[in-house]
């Protein structure tokens, strides 16, 4: 029996100084979640995604203190759960 796995994707949108109303924020969140689900379904085997949970948080902090992420390519083996180096 295989072990269930969880893929977690974190998106963080740094917002500008303009006032943004809650309805637009909610719409942007829903669009991001929908796009992520569609992209995952396109890449994963049929039936791989059992449940999708999402949440939106809102906080105020200095944007400069956030970590910067770099887009890197990782080769994954179909035989194990560890990335090839």
Does this model's pTM top 0.75? My answer is no
- Give the tens place of pLDDT for each residue, 35-46: 999 999 899 999
**Of residues 24, 49, 47, the one with CA closest to residue 37:** 49
Percent of the chain at pLDDT > 70 equals: 71
pLDDT at 70 > cutoff 90: no
Output the pLDDT for position 31.
96
Q: Cβ–Cβ contacts within 10 Å for residue 23, how many?
A: 8
- pLDDT higher for 69 or 5? 5
Of the pLDDT bands very low, low, confident and very high (cuts 50, 70, 90), residue 48 is: confident
């Amino acid at each position: 029996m295989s072990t269930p796995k969880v893929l977690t994707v974190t998106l963080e949108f740094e917002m500008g100084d303009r006032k943004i109303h809650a309805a637009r924020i909610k719409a942007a969140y829903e669009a991001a979640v929908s796009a992520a689900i569609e992209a995952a379904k396109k890449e994963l085997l049929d039936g791989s995604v059992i449940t999708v949970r999402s949440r939106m948080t809102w906080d105020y902090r200095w944007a400069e203190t956030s970590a910067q992420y770099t887009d890197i390519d990782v080769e994954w083996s179909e035989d194990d759960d560890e990335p090839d180096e």
